[in-house]
Amino acid sequence: MSDVSRRAFMHVAGVAAAVVGATSTNAAVGNPSRPTAGKIKVVSSANGLEATRKAYEMILAGSDPADAVVAGVGIVEDDPNDTSVGYGGLPNERGIVELDAAVMHGPTHRAGAVASLQNIRHPALVALKVMRRTDHVLLVGAGALDFAKAHGFPEENLLTELSRKIWLRWKETLSDKDDWMPDPADNDIPVADFFRSRSVPLVQSAATRDVKVASDISPMKFRRPTGTIHCAGMTRLGDFACTTTTSGLAFKIPGRVGDSPIIGAGLYCDNEIGSCGSTGLGEVNLQNLCSFAAVELMRNGASPEEAGMEVLRRVAKKIEPRLRDKDGHPDFGLIFYLLAKDGRHAGVTMWGPEKFSVTDENGTRHEDCTALFTRP
């Protein structure tokens, strides 16, 4: 057994002992047959199936896990049809795409991040450069753009025709107290489908984030689109890295920064323990430092699933009334993707059903998230 895997094993044994003493409800935690570090594993959000495959292959070929997960999410940053990340991401309220991303590297415990970055397609790669080529952790706005350009990243317009039309439809149907008017003859199917898929019956919610949309889907309320990709990987030696990259909350106030580039909120890893990252409403992650909290719960013996569910329960308990539905439940999505040093993993969600992506020695697949609440 190498030094690294011996350390990993001793840590796992310590956790098992602590948990057996602390709780008897999780028999699996004390199960000596569960895997220890030694197997490569990559987890990601549902939109990251190909990201996990790519990162797994790179780790298998000997890449540093940070390079691997950043290359994995790069596939989705490039995808014009994913309106939540990179190229084609939905813009801020002025129609400008502003991206947030971060990377954390377990072996060095270093991190890099960028926020409110415009015109650069691969913010996770810029975050990796911040981690490796500066003495800083977070660069924002114009400074982040200057830094990216200094490192040779090309500037480009990230607004695709689809994301521009979705933004314009949102703007034109937002209020009858301004001068922007939708084209009554407009029947752009992809745009209409976008709004339809994010609309909920009026009775569902009184949350102030809901906004009026085009009459063709009335009477519905529009769920503000969020979306992001998180990806975390572990090498055979139990070394972690994770990344989160996003265009953030659609139609946000310019300059709004979510949880994705904030270490401890949108992602966190500790090489002795594991990793957690998140997608969903960033503000609650910022208020609760959810990814850090989940890793700390794992340090104290919780399984990935227990840790994630406990953080979801804490969020659900503390949120303001305006973020609750008529039953008092959280009126937003929040998902955590967790990976532990012993190889266990979990996806947990505020609202199910939801899926997450995994690649390990058993292949590439979607798995079900464990849900705190389930929609009928």
Q: Which stretches of the chain bind ligand ASP, using CB under 6 A?
A: 84, 226-228, 246, 248-249, 258-260, 279-282
Nearer to ligand ASP, 214 or 249 (CB): 249
Question: What number of other Cβ atoms are within 10 A of residue 15's Cβ?
Answer: 22
The residues that are catalytic are 228
**What is the nearest approach in angstroms of ligand ASP to the Cβ of residue 219?**
25
Residue with tokens 């519905």: 220
Distance between CA atoms of residues 114 and 99, nearest Å: 8
Least Å from the CB of residue 313 to ligand ASP: 19
Comparison of 64 and 331: residue with beta carbon closer to ligand ASP: 331
**Quick one: CA dihedral 231, 263, 252, 315, positive or negative?**
positive
- For 115, half-sphere exposure in the C-beta direction (CA atoms, 13 angstrom radius) is 16
CB-based burial label for 253 (10 Å; 0-12, 13-18, 19+): exposed
Closer to ligand ASP at the Cβ: 147 or 332? 332
Q: At what angle do helices 189-197 and 161-172 cross, to 10 degrees?
A: 60
Closest to ligand ASP by CB, 88 or 248:
248
**Amino acid present at 10:** M
To the nearest whole angstrom, how small is the minimum distance from the Cβ of residue 288 to ligand ASP? Answer: 13
Which residues lie across from 368 on neighbouring strands? 355
CB of 336 to ligand ASP, least distance (A): 11
Decide if 103 contacts 133 (C-beta within 8 A).
no
Distance between CA atoms of 357 and 229, rounded to whole angstroms?
A: 11
Strand order, beta sheet including 334-340:
267-270, 274-280, 334-340, 345-352, 370-374
280 contacts 254 by C-beta, under 8 angstroms? no
Q: Which is nearer to ligand ASP, 86 or 258 (CB)?
A: 258
Residues 6+ positions from 108 with CB-CB distance below 8 Å: none
Minimum distance between the CB of residue 137 and ligand ASP, rounded to whole angstroms? 18
CB of 98 to ligand ASP, least distance (A): 10
Choose between 259 and 360: whose C-beta lies nearer to ligand ASP. Answer: 259
Q: Where are the alpha helices (DSSP H) in the chain?
A: 3-22, 49-60, 65-77, 123-133, 141-150, 161-172, 189-197, 282-288, 290-299, 304-318
Residue with the two structure tokens 């709780």: 23
Residue 199 CB, nearest distance to ligand ASP (Å)?
A: 17
Is the CB of 246 or the CB of 303 nearer to ligand ASP? 246
